[in-house]
Amino acid sequence: MELKLVKFIIPYWRRLLLVLLLSIVGTVLFILQPLIGKFIIDEVFVQKQYPFERALGIAVLLLFSTYLISAITRFIYMKTSLQMVTLMRTEFYHHLLNLPIQLFRKRRIGDLTTRLNEDISEIQRLYTDIILQIINLCLTLLFSLIVLFLFDWMMTLFCMILMPILLWGTHKFRNLLFKENLEMKEIGSRIQSFLFESLSSMKFIRSGSYNPWMQNKYTSLLESGNKQSIKLAVINTCAQSVPQFMIWFSTITLVWFLGIKVLEGSLTLGALLAFTAYQANLYSSVQGFAQVYIRIQSGKAAVNRINEFFSIPKETDGNGEISAFHSIIDLKGIHFSYDNSKRILENLSFSIEKGEKIAIIGESGSGKSTLVSLLARIYRPTQGTIYCDGVDIQMVKKESWHKQICFVSHDDPIWFGTIEEFLQSGKKKFSLMEMEKALMDVDLWNTIKQLPGMLKAELSERGVNLSAGQKQRLLLARAILLNPEILVLDEATCHLDSVAEQQIFKILQDKMTDKTIIVITHRLQNIGWVNQVVRMDQGQIVYEEGVFANGRLAKMSN
């Protein structure tokens, strides 16, 4: 399962290898310290056979180089792992943007951001930190064992007898920790989602004094998080107390036995100190392994959550190109349902000729927005095909299709950035004149002119510094600038008054005479200019004869 994530490590293997080598050198230098200590005590202080200054010099050099190497290692490691995390996050975000849209109804946004932030950081630690740690631990364990055996094999065997108890204790806590960690992450996600949803519905909360209700909800979520944290902390403490107790027990026993030998003169003081130091190293490395094991369990929860995500296939895209819209869009036998249970559109067929102006009307919930979102390829029909000049639009690259069609909806968002950036939206560079002209067309230029910086003025998050009507005008200005072959307005003028809506429609008619325009509106008095009226009723197209002077029967081919 980890294979999907290994690709994020591969680009950095050289630097990781360097980190690995440096940390091996660092560990070896660290392991040598007790031996040097023994040498200084026995040879310099007791036997007085080696010059004090020279021994001190060696010790200082050893300490200093151990420190230097570990600092360099940490720096290189940090830089590399940050780059790895950036790569992983970017890839995750990219994957996210290309997933089937249905998933976003099921998954809470907070859950996704938790995965993006915390889970990925945890994976980064798991993959890099832990590998380094394991290597260091192996070296420490091996070296300590060798030195201990050389000193006193019987006492070493005694130390080792206690190991299985230690490992058994750790193992016992493994599954429990894994389960509880997963639960902790779920609660974290729930809290994030709640925060995200409530903070972005501030107007609603204020409008009805829902604050206390929200506060209570947040407190109870936090409390469930606290309860889980305490539970986890207790389990963790129990899991770690097993090795801790083993270390105490063995150190006391060793000092007792070896202390007697020192008193009898059969063991030097330096050897006693070195032996206890290596014994502590041995235990702490075994304990380190146990902790690594526990961390891997908790990291695995993060790996599972990320892998689960990466294994959802991206939405398939076509690979054809569409360079222009020449004559006709045909919708043939379109069925659609959001979740395979309730049919939203039923066997719907009609066609739109190039240059036509179409109004889609009907009661709220009749399926108007759903129909146009199929055209904009937000969703794909469950059954049936939409053809553009005889080509199934699903077979065309989305990006290519979106060069032909521009979709403006009443719930389109306005996001951070300047007005200029928003108008360009990464698509085309428009000149200042063009932008100014488009803003004049939608009667927004006078407002923007007064903002500090004008087109360079920053839009605040979700455009809260604009009124609902001004936001719609801005979205319409962008559509006018893009001047697409097909323009779809899904109640994109609903926040304007009837006169303003009429003016916008007039401008669109003038500017886009040869372009195709599809509008959804509830104001029937404003659609006199269209040449086809499609009335939707419960997911089907109906036509009421005689209602619209300019309307003609929607072509129904079934």
Q: Does 364 bind ligand ADP (CB under 6 A)?
A: yes
Reading the block at residue 388, the tokens are: 């553009």
Span from 251-259, 366-374, 412-420, 430-438 in contact with ligand ADP (CB under 6 A): 366-374
Q: DSSP letter string over 431-493?
A: -HHHHHHHHHHTT-HHHHHTSTTGGGPEE-GGGTTS-HHHHHHHHHHHHHHH--SEEEEESTT
Q: Does 338 bind ligand ADP (CB under 6 A)?
A: yes
Separation CA 132–CA 73 (nearest Å): 10
Q: Does 366 bind ligand ADP (CB under 6 A)?
A: yes
Comparing CA positions, the residue from 387, 390, 385, 393 lying closest to residue 348 is: 385
Given the complex with Mg ion, which of 372 and 435 has the nearer CB atom? 372
Label the pairing between strands 391-392 and 486-490. unpaired
> What residues from 84 to 113 belong to the interface with ligand ADP (CB under 6 A)?
105
Taking residues 359 to 378 in sequence order and writing x for each that binds Mg ion by CB under 5 A, - otherwise, the string is ----------x---------
Given the complex with ligand ADP, which of 362 and 463 has the nearer CB atom? 362
Given the complex with Mg ion, which of 114 and 369 has the nearer CB atom? 369
Separation CA 315–CA 108 (nearest Å): 19
Reading the block at residue 443, the tokens are: 């009667």
Residues forming a β-bridge with 331: 350, 386
Span from 2-10, 13-21, 359-367, 442-450 in contact with ligand ADP (CB under 6 A): 359-367
Long-range contacts at 447-453 (CB < 8 A, ≥ 24 apart)? 448/419, 451/419, 453/418
Question: Min. distance of Cβ 102 from ligand ADP in angstroms?
Answer: 8
Among 11, 57, 100, 365, binds ligand ADP (CB under 6 A): 365
Q: Does 370 bind ligand ADP (CB under 6 A)?
A: yes
Given the complex with ligand ADP, which of 368 and 478 has the nearer CB atom? 368
Size of the site for ligand ADP (CB under 6 A): 11
Counting Cα atoms < 13 Å in the Cβ hemisphere of 427 gives 19
Size of the site for Mg ion (CB under 5 A): 1
Question: Min. distance of Cβ 558 from ligand ADP in angstroms?
Answer: 20
Question: Min. distance of Cβ 435 from Mg ion in angstroms?
Answer: 29
For CA atoms 33, 35, 41, 45, the dihedral sign is: negative
| Helix orientation angle between 130-151 and 13-39, rounded to the nearest 10 degrees | 30
Q: Does 344 bind ligand ADP (CB under 6 A)?
A: yes
Reading the block at residue 195, the tokens are: 């925060």
Q: Does 27 bind Mg ion (CB under 5 A)?
A: no
Residues forming a β-bridge with 200: none
For residue 351, the surrounding DSSP H or E stretch is strand 343-353
Question: Min. distance of Cβ 312 from ligand ADP in angstroms?
Answer: 18
Residues forming a β-bridge with 557: none
Question: Min. distance of Cβ 370 from ligand ADP in angstroms?
Answer: 3
Output the CA angle 183-189-194, nearest 5 degrees.
130
Question: Min. distance of Cβ 105 from ligand ADP in angstroms?
Answer: 6
Span from 89-97, 236-244, 364-372, 399-407 in contact with ligand ADP (CB under 6 A): 364-372
Q: Does 359 bind ligand ADP (CB under 6 A)?
A: no
Binding site for Mg ion (CB under 5 A): 369
Binding site for ligand ADP (CB under 6 A): 105, 338, 344, 362, 364-370
